[in-house]
Structure 1
Amino acid sequence: MTVCSHPQKLVELQQKILEAASRPLETAIALPAETYTDPDFYQWEVQHIFKRQWLCVGHCSQVPQPGDYINLDLIDEPLVIVRGKDNQIRVLSRVCAHRGMDMMPEGFGHAAQGNRRSFLCPYHHWVYGLDGTLVGAPEMHQSQQFEPDKVCLPKFRSEIWHGFIFITFDPEIESVSTHYAALSPYLERWNIAEMQMVANLEWNCQFNWKVLVENFMEPYHHLGTHAKTFEPMLPAAKTWTEPEVLNGVVCHLPLAKSIVERINAGQSPTVFQTPVNLLPQDHYEYAVYLGNPNFLLFTGPDRVYWYLLLPTSAGEMTLHTTLLVTSESKDMPEFPQILEREIAGLKEFHLEDVEVCTAVQRGLRSSVYSPGALGHLEMPIWLFQKYLAQQIQGANSQ
């Protein structure tokens, strides 16, 4: 565990966060800049948030066949998500139980995603099955310490929820379905578990993970950042946020009046096949969802966007922006051409977000910045502040 280098400074910052979160929405202000830049606070988040919450790491459609795997690094843990021969999805450590080597480093030509029959450590050729059990360790027969039946790759606690793969480092936390029960009624009609991931874009980001979460959730920035992309389609002034959703935030983004009129005239703007269980009103809005701390979904009538956040420091993170569609969509005659256009659109609006988030992180390092007032369209940020305050209070009460 990393030792805090300035404990009193951390206490003072946490107190400022608690004070900001205690304000009513009408007098709400942004959090102190150090919330997004201080290394000690980031390490506190690692220990008291990321190591104690459910974290989404993938979707079942990414590992559809036995042997399919995905490598990722989460909070300094080298992980592999793999579907075993028994069709079960597991999240295993990639660290060999022999001498601690990451068994699938890029330097040895290992792809971040693929299919394999077993895991071979290139250091000494120890071999593990897809369930993590040791199946081979050459030239270890003279060791009196070696007990092959007791050697395996550690398995992390994982659960599937709406087709998404979650892990936790906390053996005591409630199930993910219980934790996010309040979000399920909003998502179940999309049947996301049966959707297919058809795009996965990776970004190396020079900003704090919370800058991305707040930007993702508040629609106020449509007016500026997305003036030509989202604002004409999802006008900021018409958006609204659910006042209270346990362990999450829900923000509704109604379609512009002109688009609604076209839908009512039989001119649907959807390009993919829509889920069959949607309600009529689902065709007239998009919505963004936050499952605390960093599970981000963006739903539309014919698609779901999921963002995978992998924080690496106070000011850096790796981000995957993904697109999921119904299985029927892939059978459309012009699906490849449609998908190409939609991926281009995904890149376009995300580049807009990357630019402003990078600039926000740069501005937060300024010596003259002081937290400004939040408007009513930034209610999701205010709710996220309250979540952070709850985590601070919970940690301090232990």
Structure 2
Amino acid sequence: MFAMGEKHALVLGGSVAGLLAARVLADFFDRVVVAERDALPSTISNRRGVPQDRHVHLLWSRGSSILEDLFPGFTDELIRAGAPRFDGDLSKVYLNNGGHPLPASGCFDDFQFVLPSRPLLEGCVRQRVRRINNIELRDAHDIVELVTDRDHISGAVLRRRDREAVVDGADEIVEADLVVDAMGRAGRTPALLDSLGYGRPVEDSLDVRLMYSSFPVRIPPGALRELAVVIGPVPGRPTGMALFANEDNTWMFTVSGLAGVEPPKGLSEMLAFIEKFAPMHVVAALRRSEVIGEGAQHRMPATRWRRYDKMKRWPTGLLAIGDAICSLNPIYAQGMTVAAMEAELLQQCLRQGSGALPPCSGHGICGYAASGSVAGVRFLS
């Protein structure tokens, strides 16, 4: 039950965007509940609700900076867990985008990052969030429907699951002053809004027909001087690859195809796939590698921007963040960094509003451009 006079927030979805939103909200609300459909692992491991976590991931330096602000000492924590650190030395990376390789000499002072796997990064964020006293993580819960009070979203109905089975009679209404949709591109908020009479947002989409295949591997020490290899598509070749060093002397090897080109699934076929465009020393190092886990594939038909800002009616008390608004082409590795930037923007808005819903509310949109793609969060009060 709520204590009288307390402010409460409910975050729907416990991935990176949801966890970062919860961290920000904890400074302005007395209680924050994070509801997640998956049964969250107690150790650093893959999980069902993040199928793309078995592929290459990158948190850009901007995202790392924001996470460091939200969780002081976070970068050092990742490094202690074994994540390699790129210090700006260009001899440690091979980047070739649009057919233009980055020079392998020199140094960038403002282009640095760490290279954890997605499970390690998300697991460390989740552990930090669990330590915050006024945040409660409720895993293994379905989001059934939104709860309304006139034109205000006042909470959601959660349904507890026992592994894969729904628990009978386990529905619970969780009330909140603010509900955050962080359920990703597969989230049901458009359908839930439609069922409440608000209609669905129009969607801007870009057909990319992206597919990628990955294997975790171990490369012999000294076989490759680079920490990261990224080769993007070029006109006439809608294919690419990425190879990132991760914690525990492991590497993630990913090949991709755009415009309907399907990359192969097997490691030997993947090596043959990249021979036409990858440097010989990279292919040679991969031929010496050892597969240390199962391969995985992922498809993304199109990028999608849900235009909540164009809806004629919108309930108060609802905010969307991360892929729930805009899911970007993953070959640019922008998703987690944009989610961090949105969390920072949420923090700025709440600070301007002195802990209440911010003055940039109303029928407006708080937004910014990130790497040429617009991502927005919307508060309507």
What interval of TM-score do these two structures reach, taking the shorter chain for normalisation? under 0.3
- Which protein shows a greater Rg? 1
The structure where strand makes up a greater share of residues is: 2
TM-score (norm 1): 0.25
The structure where helix makes up a greater share of residues is: 1
TM-score (norm 2): 0.26
